[in-house]
Every structure is written in structure tokens, then in C-alpha cells.
Structure 1
Amino acid sequence: MRLERFIPACILTTFLLLFVSPVPTSAADPAPPAKGGVVVSVSGPASDVGAAVLRKGGTAVDAAVATAFALAVTYPAAGNVGGGGYLLVHPNGSGDPAVFDFREVAPAAATRDMFVKLADRSAHRRIGVPGTVAGLAMAHKAYGKLPWAELVAPAVKLAGEGFELDAFNAASISATVRNSVGDASAEFRRVFGKPGGGSWKVGDRLVQPDLKETLARIAEKGPDGFYTGKTADLIAAEMTRGGGLITREDLAAYKPVRRVPVVGKYRGYDVYTAPPSSSGGFTLLEQLNILETFDFKPADRWEPRTIHLIVEAMRRAYRDRAHDLGDPAFTPISRRMLDKAYAKELAAGIDPKRATPSADLAGDIPLALESEQTTHFSVVDGSGAAVSLTYTLENSYGGKVVVRGAGFLMNDEMNDFGWLPGVTNPTGRIGTPPNLVAPGKRMLSSMCPTILVKNDTPVLVTGSPGGRTIINTVLNVVVNTVDFGMDLRAAVDAPRIHHQWFPDVIRGEAAFVKGHPELVAKLKEMGHRVDQVQSQGDAHSIWIDPATGRVTGVADRRISGKASAE
């Protein structure tokens, strides 16, 4: 079986293995020679780490582990050890595909109404028990080959010796330091502030000695180096200092979950993606099932009918997301969102000429009248095994809480629970029962690492950051390639749209709103409201030509990216 026929996907970085043709994002970022493995990531140093692991004969999971830890150093806005996510692996005949769910959980002291009062929404109280280290370790134990310490070592070195800031990191870190105020983010300002003051510049070196020591403990002791011992003590002390809820007992009790991927079919492709506790897979597959009932031609991509139908599919799937999905350990999960017959019923309810008001779809969800930073990467190893990994801190830099003495950012994932029980309103707040706060519960996620497979061979690996927009970014890339025949560069570059049921508005990238004024005008005539956003998502993706086996890696130009060859 040819190695180039298999791929993976994760949110920020993309790894490939054989006969790869990465696409450069700029003249400063040329595509590397296509010798064997390739890593496409938002971070050049992290991509280089992953490619080096592949050169040593590491598996796709080995490369994913090394890259994830490197991103915790070189992309602090989203790379992390203090967050959580999902790793989807396709082992290429050496086992069953699996999803490793390392989503954060609510602390034992969490309560259903803990965020009802504004005064109780502090940054420390919004931190969930982190899952990244445990999840990566579980995946490595199942599918890794190289020693764990060897995979973490490059991140230890990057933290201790520092790395040169690119334009994105320099601007992003500087702005976040300037805008961070209060005691909760004091350690953030100390760790990420430029020595001597002022703004970071491109080429400046960021050294993180406390993070180096934390990563060294993880390298030596595995998850025990994070969930017990000194690091656990530092986390617990930080929680006490800031009024957070996480205890040493919460950390010691954390367990990732190995799950069976959710798989659907779309126009002859098998679609592998993440099941609950992520909402991404179910919501994406319901959208695709609805769209499959309609015929599209390549020339139709920017026609009013096409956008109207895509938006109506988004609207209905996000409504069901709010109604049906939560942590399966707490909520029975209906599989109707995967049912093609149900999708046909929903499609039949779409008025081809008029927008459906979102409130009309509420059904038994009572309506009260009254952002997001993640990272994704993909990997394929020499045996053809594929990994798609998405992980996050929730908002950019989480809640700006750095664990004092440990050097890493904690998440603010408790944001993803429904804070106000029973309050679902047109502003987008969701208070339905499946996603209310409970001790030990995983908050609902939108992460959507996805692999399309045809004739048992992966052909598209994609994913994105972006909170609730993640699912629709993936949908845009999938329909661009499958329905409208775009090559991957065009599919990733194409302007994106988003609708999430509430608020009842199409959010289109500037390139969509400004680039298609007549289309936007027609949509408004059909009853749609259209707002403009600057950009949506960061979909580093891979395409494997099913006829030739040639692999193309495309870095999304919306932030930054680099392709590193094995």
C-alpha cells in the first residue's frame, strides 16, 4: 500500500509523509523538498520539530505529540499543556480508528448555577481541569514508538533556549500584554512582557525558563509530572490565590477517554470526525446530509441558491446541536443528527426562496427575549497511519492566567458550558440542559478534526480553530472541494460564511461581503441578515489525489504558516 495515500488533521499544524507537495504561503515561506514527511503548521519551529520526529522514524502520533508540546512553547495563544482537545487517528490497518478525547472537565466543586452572578465569573473560576498532557500520553501509549521523553525534549529546549518571534507572535503577545490588567493576569505580564519594557519585535527571542522546568517534569515522569507532584502543587496554589476551584484531587482524578470516531457518508466519501463530547462531528454530518439532498454544479458556488441552502443547513444543524448534544457521560446522545432520513425531512422544510427565521425552529427550546482561539494539525507516517489533532485554550491565551512558577497558561473552557440554565436567546446564549455545568462534566466543544476517505484511502484532511465557527469552516472547505471541484489552495482561500442558529445572521468574511455585493443584496432580499467579519478560521489542510496519490499540503494564509519537510 503506498504511503502517500494516507493523511491526518489537527488544528494549527499539518504533518504528511510521502510524495508531499506542500504549498507555500508566501515568498518568505517556500515549500520544502518533498522527500518524505511534511509538517504544515502555524509555527515554523513547531513544524520543524514534527518533521524531525518523522525523520527519526516516529509514527504519526509521535509527531503529533512532539508538535503539540512544541506549540505550547512557540504558539502560546493556543498551543498548550493547560488546555484540552481531540486526537483522531487512522492507523491504516494496524487497528481500529480512534478518537482520544482529552477535553477539560469541570472541577468537583463546580455547580449548575456557579456563573449566574456576574461577580462569580472570574478568570480563575472559568478554568477547567486540563486534559492535554493526559490525552497525548494515552495516544502515545497506544500508537507511539519513540520514547516519550524524546518527544517532549524539543519543547524543553525551545522553552529554555528561546525561539525567534514571527510577526504574528510579536504583535499578538505585545497587544495582549498591553491590554491585560488586574491581579489575575499579573504573572502573564511578567512571563510574556518584553524584558526592559516596550513591544516585541520580529526576531526577538522569547525565553520561558519556568515552562522549561514544567516540560522537563512532563518529559521525565509523563502525566504524573503534570497531574501530581510539583506542577500539581503549583496549579493548586494558583487556584487558591485566584479563587479558582481546581484542587490537587481534581488533577489526580482526570482521565482522557478513548472513543470510536463518528463516520458518515457524503457524495461517495466516508467522513471521519469527532463524536461527543465534541459537537463538531454530529453537526458537520447533519449539515452534509441536508446538502446531499440538493444538486450543485461547480459554477453555482457563488449563486444565491447555493449560499441560501448552505446557510439553511447550518441553521438547522446548529439548532439541533443546542438541543441534543453534551457530554455523553451525563446526557443520552440521540443519533438523529446522523440519520439521512431525518436530514431529508429538514431539507424538505427549507423554503427555496425565503430565509427561515431561527426562532421558528426553536420547537421545545424556550427562548428568552432579551470568541475563540484553537489550533489544528495533521500527520501521516511511513506506515500510512494518519492523525488529526485539535486542541485549545478556548479564548486567545485562555483567561490570561499563567500558573505562577510553572510558566504555562491555563484554559478558560468553563466558558463553553451554558451559564444561565434555561436561557436561550437571540444573542446566541444557549441554556439547554445537555450542556449545563456539573462536576466532572466535559463542556461541549465545536472542535471538528476531519478526514474524508474514498475507497479506504484518505483524500482530505482538514480542521480549524474558531469556536462555534469551527464546524462551518470545515463545511466550507469540504463543499468547496467535493461539490465545487476546487483544488485545495482555492478551497482554503475561498471566502467563508457562518450561521449558528442564533444570532440569526450570516457572518461573511470581508472577501465574501465586499467581493460579492450582488449576491449579498439578493440574500438580504430573501430575508437573510448579513454581517461582515474580517476573517474566519485557519484551515491548514491536506489533499491526496485519489488518482495519482500525490499529496498537497496547504497552509491557510489567514494567520501564518510554514511547511517543513522530513
Structure 2
Amino acid sequence: MARFARISSVALSCTLLASSFAVAQTPPVTAPHAMVVTIHHDATDAGVEILREGGNAIDAAVAVGFALAVVHPAAGNIGGGGFMLIRPGTKALAHGQPHFLDYREKAPAAAGTNMYLDAQGNVIPKMSTVGSKASGVPGTVAGLTYAEKQYGRLGLARVMQPAIKLARDGYVLTEEEAHTLHSGVLSQFPASYRIFQRNGRFYEAGERFRQPELAHTLERIATDPEDFYRGKMAAEIADFEKANNGLITAQDLAMYQVKERTPLVGHYHGYEVLTSPPPSSGGIVLLETLNILSGYDLPKVGPDRSPAQIHLITEAFRRAYMDRGDYLGDPDFNTMPLAQMADPKYAEAWRKTIDPTKPSPSATLVRPAGFMPEPPQPEAQPHESPQTTHFSVVDADGNAVSSTYTLNFGFGSGVTVDGLGFLLNDEMDDFASKMGVPNGFGLIQGPANAIAPGKRPLSSMTPTIVSEPSSYTYHKLLGHTTSSVVRPGKLRLVLGSPGGSTIITTVANDLISVLDNGLDVQAGADAPRFHHQYLPDVLQFEKTFPQAPIAAMKAAGYVTKREAEFDEKSAGQWGDSELIAVDPKTGVLMGGQDKRHHFGKAAGY
């Protein structure tokens, strides 16, 4: 018990530090009716404009998605893909059921398991991250247009107008945005170098950045979205790919489909947690983590970000990420033990393996017997980028959208389709390029995520919506397919984040900080983050994390690392939380925009 006493005493000494995360922040933005929170102020304004005109949360989300493709080219996109989670409000959408739209990129038909290996079987550096061979078939245009057609009110032409205007007339760059456009990957490709870097005459803060080619492309999509996948534009994309040794063909584009998947539903301390199914690994890992933690009263253990809380949360992360690596992949290609992973009894068995005073070394961790099948072998490690973006929307009827989408790495493959003005993704790098070779994150996954034609790579993106309990009998996760049409429980929290392998832990920390520890959404978004992913067996902290709790964790036996600790040029941070909470007493909406970036905005009316 001596070591636990040490952790607890440091926790007490950190109480003031922990609570200062909340006190030091600006208060959340509030609004009585509707709210939009994104990484870019112009995209937020686009969403609010649509809401004020009577659009619903889906109309606003589609407007935001296309606007971010203009104003946040590092991650916002029409050449990438992602996920959209939709939860109905008081005026039920589509029979009152929640919806999960999977518009993740797909491997082209020409893709193969060993496509990024040389003759000796070694991974060819950067082949899966830079250039035309790095791109999967884009899904964003299909996903956003499908969402608008199925669940929007105003129509595609109207909700795309803000994006078209921003591309045609331009937007004013901040210093941070202008600096981002100096990316070396953009310099490698003629169209990217011309559009984003003016052939070497780099944009400066205060200048207006116009994208006429992209504006024309968006106008064509607004008129006929099928043009992108089955029309003249599809032929232009395919011709460009062929001329630049890419893999995407007109047939690949024509075969692309949005998938409506059943969201996962879990429960945590009296809340209903609606979250992302595979090919997102995020939702099931989040639910398994929360199931493990449900056996603890975290506020009684210690305050937010205290060593005592960090210890328990980290051990839950460690165990859930172990399962992530062994079992998860594209559900169209794999059968996964989701019900077992979400079983509260399995979580209880995991919880019994957590030592209250010291870490469980990952190398010695043994999965509880009797719950899970044998994992497939061998293991592999895919790369997953932290450059993604998330946005959250709630409308006046209580409809909520949590959406995360990406190009993968910043500016994707670096390749801009000449004449069309949009960047292509490098999402093929999210597959496992070679079995048994660790990536830059050391993130473990199995052969369920090997490259195959038409397959969607596993992702950590975790759009999530939390509410008070509803009476849905809606649990395909547990083997049932029935769904009652009832009024959902009161909305409480809409959340998500970019961050590669840290997305799941960021979402979990935000959820715990707000629901368990009582931080407001602005404080939750801004609080320093910690992360553990089973392997490497390292407890990681953002650079701004206070030293005292890190020292306590090291003293307890953890191997610790502060992000970019010795790099003076790096902020040493990850993620970008865009949160909306609903005051349970007044119904007032509260928006928290992550201050790690300086051009985002929470706004509503």
C-alpha cells in the first residue's frame, strides 16, 4: 500500500493543479438554440448560416464539411473520407433511429497486400504516404452528398454555397495557416506547388487565399454529385491518376458506395454512449475502456488529471488497445468479436487484473480466459496519421452530428488533381504494409487490416454522442437487430477529435473530464492529454502536462514520455477537441473549441 499512498499524496498535492485546468480557461460559448464547433471560424460560420436559414444539423454538417475542404486543406477535404454519426432529436429523423455513415476511403482494385514492398520484402519508404500510389478511392463527396439527400432539408446546392464562395472569393490567412502552407509535401507536386505555394512566393498572414479551380469543382458537384464518381469529373480524375502512375480508375470511382452501419451503443455511469462501429476501431475501444472504468468512482479516487485517476484510466487504455490490435479491421472483410469486447463481464474480468498501486507491464498482460477467440496471427503495425479534423453540430430540434474526416497525413499524399484543385488522400498508409514491422506510432494491429482491393482501412476516428438513457432496443452490437421508435434521451455531449492513435484516448479523456469530473467543455477541450496504447509500453503526455503528476507516474513504475520534450520548435501536443454540451437543467448549448489551434470557433444562435 505504500506505493498507492505515494500516488494518492501526490494526487492531493496536484488537486490545485488539476482544478486550475478548468479555472484558467475562457468559459464555453453558449447559445439557446443551435451550435457549431469546428477548427476553422469560416467553416463554423458556414454551419451557423445554414442553421439560421432553417437547415437541420445534417444540412449544417454538410456545409461545414465542404467549407473545411476549402479553408482547412491540411485535413478538410473532398479527396479523402471519414465518418458521420447522426442522432435524432425531438423531431425524429428517419424513424428516430441513429445513423452512422461510413464514407471511408477504399483500396483501389489494383491494390495488393505487398504493394509497398521492394524485391527483398522491405517497406519502401514514403511510398504509402506520398504520391499517387498512396491514395485510396475518396469517399467524402459521396458521404456528404448522401447525408444531405437522405437527412437534410435545404438541398445540396444551398448547403454548398458557403464553400463555393470561400473558394471563389478566398479567405484571409492567419499566421498559423500561412505557415502550414509551407509544407514540404506540397512542394513536390506541380499543381500543389502552384496552388498552395504560388510557385515559391509563399502566402503571408493577412493575405486572401483564393482557389478558383476548386470553386469550379464544387459548383460541378453541387449541380451533379454523380459527376465525381460516374461522370466527366470521374474520367478526369482517372486520367490524372493514370498519367501520374496512380491506381484509382474510373471503375474504382463508379464502384464506390457509402455504407450505413449500425452505431454501437454502450452505457457509462447512467449515460448512453452512441459511438462508431468498425471500420472505426474507436467506438468499441472506447466502450471497452469505459466498461472497465465503470467499476470505479473516479472523482473519489482523485481530481481530473491526478495520478490516481491517470493510473486507472491508463490501465483501462492498455487492455482495450491490446484487443484493438488483435481483432479489428474492415467489417466487410472480417468477423470481429465486438459483443465479447463490449461484454460488461469481460470488463469486470479485466478490471480484476488491474493492480491498484502499480502498472501492468504490457509484455506480461494476459487476456482473461473464456471470453475472446484466439487472435489471428501474425501481428502487423499500420501507420495512422494524427492530421485529421472533427466537427460537432446541434440544431434547434436537438438533432446532433458528430463527424470526423481526413486526408490522413497533413495535405494527404501531397498530390492535387490538376484542373480540379483538390488534394488526394494518402489513406493507403492506414493499412498494414507488412506483417511484423512497427510503424512510427508502434501501433499494433493484426492481419484483419492487411491491404486488399475494395477494403477500407481500420481507423481510430471516434465520433461520439452521449445522452441520458433512451428506451431504444437497438443493440445489433449484442446480436439483436430490433429497434423501437421512441424519443431518445436528452442530449448531453457531442464530441470527437483528430490525433491518429491518440483519438480514442482523447475522446475518453474529454468524456471523463466533463461527465465524471465536472469540467466544462472548454476546460475539457483544453486540458493537457495523456495516452497509452498497449505497445509501445509508454505512458505519453503532452508537453504542457504538469511535471508533478508525470513524476508520480514514473515513481509508480511507468515509463513516461513528454511529447517533443526537447524540441523547442514543437508545441508537443495532439488532438483537437470540438465539443458541444447541453446543460441538463436549462437546455442551453455550450461549445468548447480546442485552443491548441488559433483559428477555430464555437458559435450558435
Change (3 A) 1:26 1:360: closer
1:424–1:431 Cα contact (<8 Å) kept: no
2:393–2:580 Cα contact (<8 Å) kept: no
**TM superposition shift of 1:334:** 0.9
1:157–1:212 Cα contact (<8 Å) kept: yes
In 2, the alpha carbon distance for the partners of 1:368 and 1:280 equals: 18
TM-score, length-scaled by structure 1: 0.89
Match of 2:578 among 521, 530, 540: 540
**TM superposition shift of 1:160:** 1.3
Residues 14-63 of structure 1, C-alpha deviation per residue, up to 9 Å, x if partnerless?
Answer: xxxxxxxxx9x999xx9888464332221111111111111111111111
Change (3 A) 1:350 1:366: farther
Residues 137-168 of structure 1, C-alpha deviation per residue, up to 9 Å, x if partnerless?
Answer: 22112211112111112211211111111232
Aligned match of 2:468:
454
Larger CA deviation: 299-308 vs 474-483 = 299-308
- For residue 346 of structure 1, give the secondary structure of its aligned residue in structure 2: helix
Match of 1:510 among 498, 521, 543: 543
Change (3 A) 1:152 1:302: closer
Q: Give the letter aligned to residue 259 of structure 2.
A: V
Q: Which has the higher contact order (CA 8 A, sep 6+)?
A: 1
In 2, the alpha carbon distance for the partners of 1:348 and 1:338 equals: 16
- For residue 341 of structure 1, give the secondary structure of its aligned residue in structure 2: helix
In 1, the alpha carbon distance for the partners of 2:380 and 2:52 equals: 56
- For residue 42 of structure 2, give the secondary structure of its aligned residue in structure 1: helix
Change (3 A) 1:248 1:311: same
2:236 equivalent to 1:234: yes
In 2, the alpha carbon distance for the partners of 1:138 and 1:331 equals: 25
- For residue 263 of structure 1, give the secondary structure of its aligned residue in structure 2: strand
Change (3 A) 1:77 1:484: same
- For residue 388 of structure 2, give the secondary structure of its aligned residue in structure 1: strand
TM-score, length-scaled by structure 2: 0.83
Q: Give the letter aligned to residue 357 of structure 2.
A: K
- For residue 170 of structure 1, give the secondary structure of its aligned residue in structure 2: helix
Match of 1:49 among 43, 46, 50: 46
In 1, the alpha carbon distance for the partners of 2:306 and 2:176 equals: 35
Change (3 A) 1:33 1:492: closer
Q: Which runs of 5+ in 1 are unaligned?
A: 1-22
- For residue 198 of structure 2, give the secondary structure of its aligned residue in structure 1: coil
1:367–1:424 Cα contact (<8 Å) kept: no
1:163–1:207 Cα contact (<8 Å) kept: yes
**TM superposition shift of 1:362:** 7.5
**TM superposition shift of 1:353:** 2.5
1:423–1:432 Cα contact (<8 Å) kept: no
Residues 201-223 of structure 1, C-alpha deviation per residue, up to 9 Å, x if partnerless?
Answer: 2220111111111111101002x
Q: Which runs of 5+ in 2 are unaligned?
A: 1-21, 368-374, 470-488, 564-571
In 1, the alpha carbon distance for the partners of 2:419 and 2:149 equals: 29
- For residue 133 of structure 2, give the secondary structure of its aligned residue in structure 1: coil
Residues 76-114 of structure 1, C-alpha deviation per residue, up to 9 Å, x if partnerless?
Answer: 011100111111111223321110110111011111121
Aligned match of 2:332:
329
Matches of residues 416-565 of structure 1 in structure 2 within 5 Å? 416-423=430-437, 428-430=442-444, 432-455=446-469, 456-512=489-545, 515-517=546-548, 519-533=549-563, 534-560=572-598, 561-565=600-604
Aligned match of 2:68:
71
Change (3 A) 1:35 1:483: closer
Q: Give the letter aligned to residue 528 of structure 1.
A: Y
Change (3 A) 1:116 1:316: farther
Matches of residues 215-234 of structure 1 in structure 2 within 5 Å? 215-222=218-225, 224-234=226-236
Larger CA deviation: 341-350 vs 381-390 = 381-390
In 2, the alpha carbon distance for the partners of 1:314 and 1:249 equals: 41
Q: Give the letter aligned to residue 384 of structure 1.
A: G
Match of 1:138 among 119, 125, 146: 146
Q: Give the letter aligned to residue 558 of structure 1.
A: R
Match of 1:251 among 247, 250, 253: 253
In 1, the alpha carbon distance for the partners of 2:250 and 2:109 equals: 11
Aligned match of 2:208:
205
In 1, the alpha carbon distance for the partners of 2:366 and 2:221 equals: 47
Q: Give the letter aligned to residue 187 of structure 1.
A: A
- For residue 194 of structure 1, give the secondary structure of its aligned residue in structure 2: helix
Match of 1:62 among 59, 64, 69: 59
Aligned match of 1:100:
101
In 2, the alpha carbon distance for the partners of 1:282 and 1:489 equals: 26
- For residue 328 of structure 1, give the secondary structure of its aligned residue in structure 2: coil
Matches of residues 112-191 of structure 1 in structure 2 within 5 Å? 112-117=113-118, 118-119=123-124, 121=128, 123-173=131-181, 175-176=182-183, 178=184, 180-182=186-188, 185-191=189-195
Aligned match of 1:356:
360
Aligned match of 2:348:
344
Identity %, equivalent residues: 46
2:401–2:494 Cα contact (<8 Å) kept: no
**TM superposition shift of 1:179:** 5.8
**TM superposition shift of 1:431:** 5.1
Q: Give the letter aligned to residue 503 of structure 2.
A: I
- For residue 590 of structure 2, give the secondary structure of its aligned residue in structure 1: strand
1:39–1:51 Cα contact (<8 Å) kept: yes
In 2, the alpha carbon distance for the partners of 1:532 and 1:36 equals: 40
2:77 equivalent to 1:80: yes
Aligned match of 1:375:
389
In 2, the alpha carbon distance for the partners of 1:540 and 1:482 equals: 16
2:35–2:589 Cα contact (<8 Å) kept: no
Q: Give the letter aligned to residue 55 of structure 2.
A: G
1:264–1:272 Cα contact (<8 Å) kept: yes
Q: Give the letter aligned to residue 111 of structure 1.
A: G
In 2, the alpha carbon distance for the partners of 1:401 and 1:426 equals: 22
1:466–1:537 Cα contact (<8 Å) kept: yes
Residues 281-331 of structure 1, C-alpha deviation per residue, up to 9 Å, x if partnerless?
Answer: 001011111111222226433433321111111111111111111111100
Aligned match of 1:9:
none
